[in-house]
Amino acid sequence: MKSAIDWPPRLVLPLLLLAGLLAMNFTTWLTLSVAGVAMGMMLFLMASGLTLIFGLMDVITFAHGAFVSLGAYVATDVVARMPELAASGSWPASLSVLAAAIAVAIVVTGLAGWVFEVVIIRRVYGSHLRQILITVGGLIVAQELLVAVWGANPIPVAKPLALQGSVEILGAAIEIYRLVAVGLGLAVYGGLYLILARTRLGLMVRAGVENIEMVESLGFRVKRLFVGVFIAGCALAGVGGALWGIYQGLVTPAIGPEMMILVFIILIMGGMGSVGGAFIAAILVGLVTNYTGFLLPKLALGSNILLMVGILLWRPRGLFPLVKS
């Protein structure tokens, strides 16, 4: 029972930023750092739901990537349906296109998540082996359904006009869209933090993460709460997918599952079930990807796996492990 704050894990991120600064010149570093944080925010959106779902019910789903893809496809559809607004260079117009894309993605992925919970997840509580198997099966089906609806060919999508291009900050060129992603990611993290820390619902979730039986014994219907958390988690993945799809400019059925390897790395590094851990780990992954992409391009994706292995050897339960009683 340690009351003192565990410092070393908290120093990883600042040290990484510092190391980056030493390895390259300032403007490059700033550009890459913003890009890394932006990528980290989108990854955090995809990972946050998964970590909450695991923390609360000890449920793992390998099908989360399908919701990311779904969010991305829905966003491309919405953007394509608002051509005038998307092409008008005004900020309000562009932001409202993005907002509409995200809103529709939330609704669609949330509904799909609800169906997925009822049809797939609900029957496999308590057995990790069956959860892994059945969600892999669910992923296959979901991916095929995506292809049946949107086709196997990549679908291009352009950023709304005002969000294209970059601004100069301290001599570094910073893409506007990345700043938007950072803002949105921070807002979601802040919102999640406030809900968890300040509301009765958040209290229930935090208590449920520790000891579900006791929360039920106090009269709260945790299973109903969990359905809500699962839906919210899928909707968050949808938001991440929408942002990522528009950012990439090209949406394929595999856009979500491809990201899941990074998402799992984030969950493992951050500590499964920890929202704060996922937030920090997502930024770490984003930064490492961008730094190594510049310094050692061949190592770009591999670098995150190496980072994860290193962290696991140091802390087998991740940087910010969850306490279960």
Partner 1 sequence: MIIDTILSGDRPRSRLLGALLMAAFLALAFAPFLFPGTKALGVASRICIFIVLAASYDIVLGYTGIVSFAHAMFFGIGAYGVAIALSNLPVGWGAIFIGLGGALVVSAVLAVAIGFISLRLRALYFSMMTLALASFALIVATQLRDITGGEDGLTFSLPHLLAVSYRPFAAPVLGVRIDGRIVTYYLVFTAATALFLLMLRIVNSPFGRVLQAIRENEFRAQALGFSVVLHRTLAGTIGALMATCAGALLALVLRYNGPSASLSFEIMVDSILLMTVVGGMGTLYGPLLGAIVIVLAQYYLQPGMAALAEWTDGVPLLPHLFNPDRWLLWLGVLFVLIVYFFPTGLVGRMRGWTEPDE
Partner 2 sequence: MDDALLNLAGVVTNIGAYHILHGVDLTVRRGRVTMLLGRNGAGKTTTLRSIMGLWKPRAGSVRFDGAEIAGSETPDIARRGIAYVPETMGIFSQLTVAENMRLAATTSRFDEARLEDVFRFFPILKTKWHDRAGLMSGGQKQMLAVARAIVEERRLMIIDEPTKGLAPSVIDDLIACILEQKARGTTILLVEQNFHMARSVGDDVAVMDNGRVIHAGSMADLAGDESLQTRLLGLSLDSHQ
Binding site residues, partner 2, CB under 8 A: 1, 3, 200, 203-204, 206-207, 210-211, 213-223, 323, 325
Query: Between residues 99 and 140, which has the closer beta carbon with respect to partner 1?
Result: 140
Query: Between residues 206 and 315, which has the closer beta carbon with respect to partner 2?
Result: 206
CB 325, min distance to partner 2, A: 6
Query: Between residues 40 and 160, which has the closer beta carbon with respect to partner 1?
Result: 40
Interaction partner, residue 219 (partner 2, partner 1, none; CB < 5-8 Å by kind): partner 2
Query: Between residues 81 and 223, which has the closer beta carbon with respect to partner 2?
Result: 223
Interaction partner, residue 222 (partner 1, partner 2, none; CB < 5-8 Å by kind): partner 2
Q: Is the dihedral of CA 323, 231, 127, 216 positive or negative?
A: positive
Interaction partner, residue 164 (partner 1, partner 2, none; CB < 5-8 Å by kind): none
Interaction partner, residue 140 (partner 1, partner 2, none; CB < 5-8 Å by kind): partner 1
Residues contributing to the site for partner 1 (CB under 8 A) = 60, 120, 123-124, 128-130, 132-134, 136-141, 144-145, 147-149, 152, 257, 260-261, 264-265, 267-268, 272, 298, 301-302, 305, 308, 312-313, 316
CB 210, min distance to partner 2, A: 5
Interaction partner, residue 21 (partner 1, partner 2, none; CB < 5-8 Å by kind): none
Q: Is the dihedral of CA 25, 35, 88, 155 positive or negative?
A: positive
Angle between helices 222-248 and 91-119 (to 10 degrees): 140
Interaction partner, residue 261 (partner 1, partner 2, none; CB < 5-8 Å by kind): partner 1
Query: Between residues 154 and 202, which has the closer beta carbon with respect to partner 2?
Result: 202
* Cβ neighbours, 10 Å, residue 231: 21
Show Cβ contacts of residue 108 under 8 Å, excluding neighbours closer than 6 positions. 70, 71, 74, 238
Query: Between residues 210 and 258, which has the closer beta carbon with respect to partner 2?
Result: 210
Q: Which two tokens mark 268? A: 């493992």
Q: Is the dihedral of CA 110, 64, 279, 19 positive or negative?
A: negative
Amino acid at 17: L
How far is CA 185 from its chain centroid? 9
Interaction partner, residue 74 (partner 2, partner 1, none; CB < 5-8 Å by kind): none
**Burial bucket for residue 12 (CB in 10 Å: 0-12, 13-18, 19+):** middle
First vs last Cα of the chain: how many Å apart? 12
Pair type for strands 250-251 and 172-175: unpaired
- The single-letter DSSP state of residue 311 is H
CB 47, min distance to partner 1, A: 12
